[in-house]
Structure 1
């Protein structure tokens, strides 16, 4: 068939023009396929993927879902000439879900073909082809791509691109208006009204591009434009005529307050620029976040930062909202299917009974409530509403397949949402986000926007504190009656709670929320939330309490990934005790206030769905967000052991610039003082976590000890003058009185650590936060800072046990993390760890060591008794699992005494440390330089420091600088792996694990250690 033949047959007055819709639909489509040279429906090469309408009649409709359906290509609806193609498109949109959401929706009345794109994450575009244009080869090629290459119709811009550009434009406007003295609140409210107007006219709610024409009218003065905008907003509030145009009643609270600032030409120009964007395609899942950054002066700097992907938010909404509701619907659908089987005709008794059952389900959805008690600018609320409406549409589609009339409108809407938000900007944007989001959803699925009013009121998104409320003082109370005592804030009753509560750590809470609020918060929730817990934990606890009071079914929150351990985990312990965690992502990337962070996503409640952890189904999820495949491996039951107390410490906290470069400190050590004492008493080398994981920084610190009086400190003349000049000014306005009055002393000098360190020559240290769990030696004269953990032991045996795979696994599971780096804390990682019997910190508390052959140090005075006496290391329940030993000494040759076991561990640890030091500082590249001898001393109290050899080549110097412990463990060369394997075997032997092997599963090791912890706990608690 030639183009001329086709146009002649189907054009106005053609031979087939008289055919009605049903008569002409398939003939026209088959002729078009011949013209374009594309497959016809039912062709062998496309089989069941490409079909004419299936005759599955839908009651209340003339016929089925679409005239033609080609999977992953298009759905096609034919109409007779002159019929409403917009109505045809709405029909396809309503059936799109049942058709697996094809990327193209095509409507045709034989004279006009309209191709509508519906690619997820992109604005919809329309391509219109008139029948006479088919004579053009280029037009035929465009239409042929509907069959051959639907992906080629994907719009270039994404909805995100448009949203980001719109947010930048409005941020510029906000900044301009604020710079001229307009109040930030008034500016934000006005621009929020403007952005809604842009959206409303792009989806046809404001007629004839009214808002764009108004701001684009170059004849209007600034004053007239201001008046015009105020008049338009007033009309939108109540509805009515604006000039010759009839404006719908918008309502909803958005236009209740009207205060249009005076606009200058630069503002009007920016508004015109914004008007050119396709506001109908705004991505509501990120809209609120981006506009909040632009409109809130406090968040302006975050405008170009990252934001959370909606697919990640769905990891909360899917298990908490979608999945449980679909489970409920599956049961309803079974009832409907059984009832519908008895229907004989539309309207009979069986039909009415079936329809009534379906109406009950719709009423369930109408009454469903989703609460976000930290809703921000509405991302979670919109995603929750979308999930709810998707469920309703799915149910309507399935019910239609069973023979029920298709519902003409939806029962779900913004009334299903509840929110609490403290920030005014965010709360208003949350309301606008869900308004726009619902309108977009309705249009995208073939439902028009609601009218009378267009916007439902959203007073249920409240602007208030979600945790505390201050009741009004009693009537008659005097002005000096004092601040009323806060009480716990109430949450509205809801079916589910979802959200992303604020991330504030224990220490940041006081700085950002204030001391009074923080203390009041902790007092109010005392006994329910530990005092040192992060702010996010209070939302978890409130949700748990609501479930306990039958006011909530389930909750899903985003939290810092540190919620898995320490004080934070106590709230998850309570949740697991009272209900269950049914879905969790333990350590995921997220965006918080524009910054990339690591988080845990936790869904909990009484839902019966299978437990899913990190995307995998598991038997149960423990409160540390691990797979609870065996109750005996639940490390949340591990407790602190008295035998490990008073041995590990967080390093000193300076609270001021006490540190100085090494060359400055060495110069001070040569200076005299009035009282004749050396500056070496108060000037000492210093180390933080980077000194362990990287190369030493050669930083020293001025340290006046625990309680040196100011008059004595002043006698160390130069160091004191430095502290007076640099430290004292930083302590003037600090919160704590002690820090202000004792400004020359560290904020926390760790007296317990100092007392123990005074009796030994070296300490074991590990960075609190690091990619690898590394331990190293630190001279006792060197001060560790607060991001280090110090263990006050000098023997290689303890060092070896800590650096074994056993302790590494334990610390990784018992600790928390900062972003993707594990965090080590004394209370959770060290004090809970079950050391081998006879080698626990309590057994080495005397701190004396004795050297053995090769230079390693072991704890002194270890008993020379048969090792069999120490068999309690091997839990009886696990003894039956013993297998032939691999990579360890056989029982016949194993050390016979505890001392010999300690020697084996010490030798392996000493060798590991020596190999690492030689790799870090090769003798060919480095040399040891004697440290400075302070004035008045005959020898230096400090160890030699390593320095590059003179004449080292540039390449070797660069290679030396790159040699760090972090890099070494990233590379993990064979010699390092072998050294650790030898150490692990020696430690396994002292535990009595004769079945040890290098590839023993982590869970087996942790299960054994937990059994030992529980065994020790029972022993310690025994009378």
Structure 2
């Protein structure tokens, strides 16, 4: 059994260090490779040989430094040797080898550099080169040595996109010609089945196409009638058909399954459409694709392109690529089943037991849309069964024995194992169709393996897809939980601010009177509904969700409720970008959370260095609500920080109907032309937008102004009167009360000391949210947070990667942007515990250097300076120096990944929070610390 990746990485680190200074080829290369294979827990001598002799095609003999037949050639050179020529040498050995011995991988190295070639990566040669010291960063590339398969997620074939566009054009033509809209999806589902059946062996090859091409007029006048005949025949058993039928019609099989029975259902009339020349041609054009290669998993989802964009967004119908579906399916159940298959090896008893297990599994997608999660799940389960059959009947297959597999043994899996709930009727029909098409594709795959054709036409088995509201239905009535194995899906992406009135009512139905329910996204209702449904059962659950449910206020509301029901997080994908190639594609920052009542053998955490990139897997001891390998803690709002640091306060809110504000220099100057004596009351106003993107706003700040001063300024007096009237007319009692002091800002929290400024909302693209120092003459607006009396030490720690990582994990989001909260982020941040003075001073110095680096670009905005594409190197270097100084205050050198940094911070948070809460209580006030010096930028 392969060793864990954690062990492999640890051994790789030691290996890279030990061999960093070696330069000789012959002297030590065999020891090098013996120890390299040992990194993966593999004894080299059991699989690979040294100095393998080969007869070169160009004549002469060669000797392969290290040869693993069928897998690897390695060429080892002295330091500084040209690796390209080493690869050419390995290539000459490759060409000279027998076909069966030719490897997939070639490694060339000179001790200092390593170059790995994958000769079979997605149909092309893939190369990666790195310094030997960086081996731990790239160790997953060598997983094949330990028996691990490279983890890649293939994207969908473009045929799916072309096909759905062809069908969408036909739908548009039908709607344009006034064909009943509720009949369009029924007609399209039937046509798609016929397109697929014509190319995949369900129908005799091209029987459908021949009939509509040659038995109908070019003007389309009789085309609807011809389709009606086809649909009717497909619903009539062969023995009950007339003997005088057209040959192509008669060759069509009996399909059954309700797919073509709509004509005869009472109360559900199906109208045969009237076709024009153009509409007939649209159908014929659609038949030009090879529909046998269409992926039902993706096509079914993209089929909804005939819906308008608004409906697609409101219903959460985000198109889900197979690549992303597998991120749920594999860790939820598929990887474990593959491990069982590997353990079963060639044992008939174990293989049959596993096969029966596959046949007993039942899956539920309670927001199934067009069924793509169920389709991919069913397909992968069938392919596992195919491998079982291949092993059980290896001799019969190799001997090409005929008819050795009875129809009952052909496949024990059925589409009835797939269950779904969907709100709309059209996706329900597509989901059923997609699963039937998948079943046929899998039957075709198995037929090729065993060499005998098997089909499940007529349809005798149907998926159980129910139309209804998943949040209002009792899931036990859909599938008894005692029979269910897994729940999975992609519930609607609807943020708390975008919920409709109906959706708010549905959430109240699920959450009841839970405090904070109004802060939750719509998807969280599926989490709680699933958690309640699985009580007393062993059911694994996994959902795709927007990442907001593991951040900010939502994490503090949702996860305590789930933990109270015994829920444990078993695997998770941290934030990644959810995109694909579908029409009207949705691009969202998502997470995947897998959970249940019981613990797996190991907890798996998938981390992304880049949200648009590929994940790397970590084995976690525990996965907490923030998807960090740390204890289960929930960060909730605190009235004051639990460390001995200055208070952070919300900015000033004018509540003035715009009477006190001047958006730019021009507005301010125009006012002063009318009221020049008001200049003493004009103050610069800091808001997040102008602070980050440039520009300057001003405000009328009348705090401390005497009544006679205000009355002596007519324009000021007029504005104050307007504020009073505006506040008096408010529907909020608190605002009406403010009419008593109309010359003041509605909420005044202006610092009396110099302060640190934090913008409340900042782009997620920035590695660092830029903080600033300002004097008390700058009025801080309500889009910012101020920390009065802070020092350069406080600025340095807050501006460091330590605090930025904490913020990214804990803060809420506005869309995908960071939304900073003083009560949630700042007050809970674990500061260093009593660092020595020299370390504090180092932070102060490096923090000042960050501000100094900014000042070297006076014409650039902070948005320009902190854009990852344009951030000056001198500024980035200053930040990295600050990061090192801040890390030193925590008595740590550095962290290999942000995940490791967060593990440390959450552990420190637990330690500090527990001690502080015991000593101080959560709402203890903090005193301001005198500032040392101010900085204007």
**TM-score tier (shorter):** 0.5 to 0.7
For the residues of structure 2 that align with 1:585 and 1:490, how far apart are their CA atoms?
29
Query: Are residues 228 and 49 of structure 1, via their aligned partners in 2, closer, same or farther at CA, if it must alter by over 3 Å?
Result: same
Q: Is the 8 A contact 1:652 1:786 kept in 2?
A: yes
Mapping 1:106-145, distance limit 5 Å: none
1:180 matched to 2:192? The reply is no
- Figure out how many residues of one structure are paired with residues of the other and give that number: 713
1:366 matched to 2:371? The reply is no
Pick one of 754, 757, 761 that aligns with 1:764. Answer: 757
Aligned to 1:595: 586
- What is the deviation of 1:495? 0.8
Structure 1 residues 336-378: Cα deviation after superposition (integer angstroms, max 9, x where no partner): 94xx6xxxxxxxxxxxxx6xx8766544333321111111212
Pick one of 463, 479, 491 that aligns with 1:501. Answer: 491
Mapping 1:62-77, distance limit 5 Å: none
For the residues of structure 1 that align with 2:287 and 2:654, how far apart are their CA atoms?
55
1:582 matched to 2:570? The reply is yes
Higher mean Cα deviation, 574-583 or 969-978? Answer: 969-978
Structure 1 residues 742-793: Cα deviation after superposition (integer angstroms, max 9, x where no partner): 9x99xxx9989x3221645655123433322321246767776776544455
Q: Secondary structure at the match of 1:604?
A: strand
Q: Is the 8 A contact 2:542 2:593 kept in 1?
A: yes
Pick one of 536, 541, 552 that aligns with 1:566. Answer: 552
Q: CA RMSD in A?
A: 5.2
Q: Is the 8 A contact 1:439 1:449 kept in 2?
A: no
Aligned to 2:186: 189
Mapping 1:613-632, distance limit 5 Å: 613-614=605-606, 615-628=616-629
Q: Is the 8 A contact 1:536 1:559 kept in 2?
A: yes
Aligned to 1:400: 393
Mapping 1:150-189, distance limit 5 Å: 160-189=157-186
Q: Secondary structure at the match of 2:828?
A: coil
Runs (5+) with no aligned partner, structure 2: 1-56, 58-63, 72-97, 103-118, 125-154, 263-269, 398-403, 607-615, 704-710, 925-937
- What is the deviation of 1:594? 1.4
Mapping 1:47-126, distance limit 5 Å: none
Aligned to 2:536: 549
- What is the deviation of 1:441? 1.8
Q: Is the 8 A contact 1:665 1:683 kept in 2?
A: no
Q: Is the 8 A contact 1:764 1:793 kept in 2?
A: no
Q: Is the 8 A contact 1:668 1:719 kept in 2?
A: no
For the residues of structure 1 that align with 2:200 and 2:622, how far apart are their CA atoms?
46
For the residues of structure 1 that align with 2:157 and 2:895, how far apart are their CA atoms?
47
1:833 matched to 2:838? The reply is no
1:610 matched to 2:613? The reply is no
For the residues of structure 1 that align with 2:180 and 2:695, how far apart are their CA atoms?
49
Aligned to 2:77: none
Q: Is the 8 A contact 1:682 1:703 kept in 2?
A: yes
Structure 1 residues 841-878: Cα deviation after superposition (integer angstroms, max 9, x where no partner): xxxxxxxxxxxxxxxxxxxxxxxxxxxxxxxx36xxxx
Structure 1 residues 563-585: Cα deviation after superposition (integer angstroms, max 9, x where no partner): 32223334445556724333222
Q: Is the 8 A contact 2:367 2:470 kept in 1?
A: yes
Aligned to 1:1015: 915
Mapping 1:181-260, distance limit 5 Å: 181-207=178-204, 209-217=206-214, 219=217, 222-240=220-238, 241=241, 243-244=246-247, 245-246=249-250, 247-257=252-262, 258-260=270-272
- What is the deviation of 1:809? 3.6
Q: Secondary structure at the match of 1:569?
A: helix
Q: Is the 8 A contact 1:562 1:816 kept in 2?
A: yes
For the residues of structure 2 that align with 1:559 and 1:698, how far apart are their CA atoms?
39
For the residues of structure 2 that align with 1:424 and 1:717, how far apart are their CA atoms?
63
Aligned to 2:772: 776
For the residues of structure 1 that align with 2:461 and 2:918, how far apart are their CA atoms?
61
1:266 matched to 2:278? The reply is yes
Structure 1 residues 476-531: Cα deviation after superposition (integer angstroms, max 9, x where no partner): xxxxxxxxxxx99977532101111111221122xxx22x5304513531349843
For the residues of structure 1 that align with 2:194 and 2:223, how far apart are their CA atoms?
15
Structure 1 residues 793-836: Cα deviation after superposition (integer angstroms, max 9, x where no partner): 56555434422454334323333567876553333311212457
For the residues of structure 2 that align with 1:988 and 1:540, how far apart are their CA atoms?
41
Mapping 1:781-930, distance limit 5 Å: 788-791=784-787, 796=792, 798-815=794-811, 822-835=818-831, 873=833, 894=837, 904=841, 908=845, 911-912=848-849, 914-921=851-858
Structure 1 residues 969-994: Cα deviation after superposition (integer angstroms, max 9, x where no partner): 964645764577469748966xxx6x
Q: Secondary structure at the match of 2:600?
A: coil
Aligned to 1:468: 472
- What is the deviation of 1:443? 1.0
Q: Secondary structure at the match of 1:503?
A: coil
Structure with max Cα Rg: 1
Mapping 1:214-363, distance limit 5 Å: 214-217=211-214, 219=217, 222-240=220-238, 241=241, 243-244=246-247, 245-246=249-250, 247-257=252-262, 258-295=270-307, 298=310, 308-327=320-339, 333=344, 337=347, 361-363=354-356
Structure 1 residues 232-260: Cα deviation after superposition (integer angstroms, max 9, x where no partner): 21222334445333332222333233323
For the residues of structure 2 that align with 1:533 and 1:301, how far apart are their CA atoms?
18
For the residues of structure 2 that align with 1:324 and 1:1021, how far apart are their CA atoms?
46
Q: Secondary structure at the match of 1:397?
A: helix
For the residues of structure 2 that align with 1:306 and 1:520, how far apart are their CA atoms?
21
Mapping 1:348-747, distance limit 5 Å: 361-401=354-394, 406=405, 408-446=409-447, 448=453, 450-451=455-456, 453-454=458-459, 456-458=461-463, 460-469=464-473, 493=481, 494-509=484-499, 513-514=500-501, 516-522=502-508, 524-526=510-512, 527=514, 530-550=517-537, 552-570=538-556, 571-572=558-559, 578-591=566-579, 594-605=585-596, 606=598, 608-614=600-606, 615-628=616-629, 633-634=630-631, 636=633, 640-644=637-641, 647-649=648-650, 662=664, 665-670=667-672, 672=674, 685=685, 687-689=687-689, 691-693=690-692, 695-698=693-696
Query: Are residues 805 and 660 of structure 1, via their aligned partners in 2, closer, same or farther at CA, if it must alter by over 3 Å?
Result: same
Aligned to 1:858: none
Q: Is the 8 A contact 2:576 2:589 kept in 1?
A: yes
Q: Is the 8 A contact 2:572 2:593 kept in 1?
A: yes
For the residues of structure 2 that align with 1:204 and 1:1020, how far apart are their CA atoms?
75
- What is the deviation of 1:696? 0.6
Structure 1 residues 145-188: Cα deviation after superposition (integer angstroms, max 9, x where no partner): xxxxxxxxxxxxx9722221111111122222223333433222
Q: Is the 8 A contact 2:156 2:322 kept in 1?
A: no
For the residues of structure 2 that align with 1:450 and 1:298, how far apart are their CA atoms?
40
Structure 1 residues 955-1011: Cα deviation after superposition (integer angstroms, max 9, x where no partner): xxxxx479833048964645764577469748966xxx6x46567973556544542
Q: Secondary structure at the match of 1:196?
A: helix
Q: Is the 8 A contact 1:814 1:829 kept in 2?
A: yes
Query: Are residues 490 and 169 of structure 1, via their aligned partners in 2, closer, same or farther at CA, if it must alter by over 3 Å?
Result: closer
Q: Is the 8 A contact 1:466 1:491 kept in 2?
A: no
For the residues of structure 2 that align with 1:826 and 1:197, how far apart are their CA atoms?
60
For the residues of structure 2 that align with 1:790 and 1:430, how far apart are their CA atoms?
53
Q: Secondary structure at the match of 2:519?
A: coil
For the residues of structure 2 that align with 1:185 and 1:680, how far apart are their CA atoms?
69
- What is the deviation of 1:698? 4.2
For the residues of structure 1 that align with 2:445 and 2:414, how far apart are their CA atoms?
15
For the residues of structure 2 that align with 1:214 and 1:613, how far apart are their CA atoms?
54
**TM-score, L = length of structure 1:** 0.59
- What is the deviation of 1:398? 2.8
- What is the deviation of 1:681? 7.8
